[in-house]
Amino acid sequence: MKLNLKIWRQGGNYKNGQFVQYELPNVNPHMSFLEMLDVLNEQLVSKREEPVAFEHDCREGICGTCSMVIDGRPHGPMKGTTTCQLHMRHYNDGDTIVIEPFRAKAFPVIKDLVVDRSAFDRIIQSGGYVSVNTGQAQDANSIPVEKDQAGRSFDAAACIGCGACVAACPNASAMLFTSAKVSHLALLPQGQVERKRRVLKMVAQMDKEGFGQCSNVKACEAECPKEISVSNIARMNREYASAAFTNESN
């Protein structure tokens, strides 16, 4: 099938950024979306033009590297699917597809569709861990965890850190990402010791990075490729207030 692509180009020959139109005549419906872009890039290289820069790595929907907004939706139209797992059979001959980078002040564009998401790393560094040195752990089975509770913790821990939540949010809020980590650890006995400290520090860092506030629009949940629930945000709201009001140290 034939596709028209309207892709955001920035950097290189497109200093300040602009949309550029491309035509792709032979798209196989079994291709993945990224393979379709590979074909476009091959075509551009053969014309000695600079290929479209986009980030990708595992192409299995787990590394969280791929990041683009397809027709206004992070990771495209399919529910619970990353861009790399989106296939062209969901498009029709003659379709025009608009591809843009994730947009948020905290995610500055590096080039074309590539953005800098290191703010997420800094949020985790601010407290998204259990402080246990290698070798300090007791026997694994000495900490029983209720099965369903472990499952809920897993649901939050399934976050791949792709940033689609921020890209989808009209406020560019990182609440879903941050709350998923807060929830993952708050739901486990291992996370209890640092529970208050963790949520206070992580929220402070999140605010410092320039993300917006949550206004419960829930676009994040709708676009999250791992379908992480906004109930995590409610949990973080609760955890944060409770920590702020009861924390005895600083």
Of the pair 32, 94, the CB lying nearest other proteins is at: 32
Minimal distance, residue 217 CB to other proteins, in Å: 4
CB of 178 to other proteins, least distance (A): 10
In whole angstroms, the minimum distance from the beta carbon of 23 to other proteins comes to: 17
Structural contact between residues 19 and 7, judged by C-beta atoms closer than 8 angstroms: yes
Cα dihedral angle (227, 231, 236, 239), rounded to 10 degrees?
-140
Q: What is the closest distance, in whole angstroms, from the C-beta atom of residue 69 to other proteins in the complex?
A: 6
Q: Which is nearer to other proteins, 26 or 94 (CB)?
A: 26
Angstrom distance (rounded) from CA 46 to CA 173: 40
| Cβ 45 to other proteins shortest distance, Å | 4
Nearer Cβ to other proteins, position 94 or 245?
A: 245
The residue (of 13 and 94) whose beta carbon lies closer to other proteins is: 13
Between CA 26 and CA 183 the distance in angstroms is: 46
Rg, Å, the chain Cα set: 20
Measured CA to CA, the distance from residue 207 to residue 202 in angstroms comes to 9
Residue 83 CB, shortest distance to other proteins, in Å, is 12
In the complex with other proteins, the residue whose CB is nearer, 1 or 78, is 78
Specify the residue, 1 or 234, whose C-beta has the smaller distance to other proteins: 234
Output 193-199 pairs: Cβ under 8 A, ≥24 positions apart. 193/130, 193/131, 194/127, 194/130, 194/131, 195/239, 195/243, 196/239, 196/242, 196/243, 196/246, 196/247, 197/127, 197/243, 197/247, 198/127, 198/128, 199/127, 199/236, 199/239, 199/240, 199/243
